[in-house]
Amino acid sequence: MTAPPEVDDPPRQADDASVMSESLRRPERFAILYDRYFEEIYRYLAARLGSEAADDLAAETFLIAFRKRHTYDAGLGAVRPWLYGIATKLVAGHRRGVTRMLAAFRRARPADPVEAGPEDRVPSRVDAASVRGPLAGALAALSPGDRDVLLLVAVAGLSYEEVAESLGIPPGTVGSRLNRARKRVRAALGDVNPMIGDADG
């Protein structure tokens, strides 16, 4: 009649790691991690690449994680940042592999608008500055490494330590990349509070 049973949930991180190791022998256990983290990985990917790409890449993140679970080393970090690391690599690969991913489609139906250009198959890019104002322009101008750090902190809400784990870089590098990225973003916002001032001005 006192405490509800949920209160003795184990600390999530330790629990994630044990699910990982159980999944080596019982692969179906891995689905627990999907249920826990799919939505936030999806949101992170959608923020970076749009929902269309996220639909596919969020699922892909978990397929890769599943196949790679033998190589996961709990000593090098928790499961959640590890998943973000995989998702971030997919973002990079999505962009880098542009040519490779120019998968073709039928030329027999040029009139069909869906089939009329590769843009629905290539990582669709946008002139962000024209769509989203100065902030988007500043984000687009960042180096990929700086952008990864900024978005892992701002969107995914990872700590410095977790960003370092997920990207496999020293925490000090995380700090310097984040500072650089934030300076650019602040400059772009012109120190205007975007909630009050018009950031698109």
Which string of x and - marks every residue 109-128 that binds another protein (by CB under 8 A)? -xx---xxxxxxxxxxxxxx
- In the region spanning residues 168 to 187, those forming contacts with another protein, defined by CB under 8 A, are 168, 182, 185-186
* 31 sits near another protein (criterion: CB under 8 A): yes
* 197 sits near another protein (criterion: CB under 8 A): no
Count other C-beta atoms under 10 Å from residue 41's C-beta: 25
Q: Are the CB atoms for 16 and 65 separated by under 8 Å?
A: no
In the bound complex, what is the minimum distance in angstroms from residue 27's beta carbon to another protein?
Answer: 5
* 80 sits near another protein (criterion: CB under 8 A): no
In the bound complex, what is the minimum distance in angstroms from residue 131's beta carbon to another protein?
Answer: 5
From 8-16, 74-82, 140-148, 158-166, span contacting another protein (CB under 8 A): 140-148
Candidate list 36, 132, 160, 173; residue touching another protein; CB under 8 A: 132
* 108 sits near another protein (criterion: CB under 8 A): yes
Complex with another protein: residue 74 or 128, whichever CB lies closer: 128
As a dihedral over the C-alpha atoms of residue 93, residue 100, residue 143, residue 119, rounded to 10 degrees, the angle is -100
In the bound complex, what is the minimum distance in angstroms from residue 17's beta carbon to another protein?
Answer: 19
- In the region spanning residues 82 to 101, those forming contacts with another protein, defined by CB under 8 A, are 89, 92, 95-96, 98-100
* 38 sits near another protein (criterion: CB under 8 A): yes
In the bound complex, what is the minimum distance in angstroms from residue 53's beta carbon to another protein?
Answer: 8
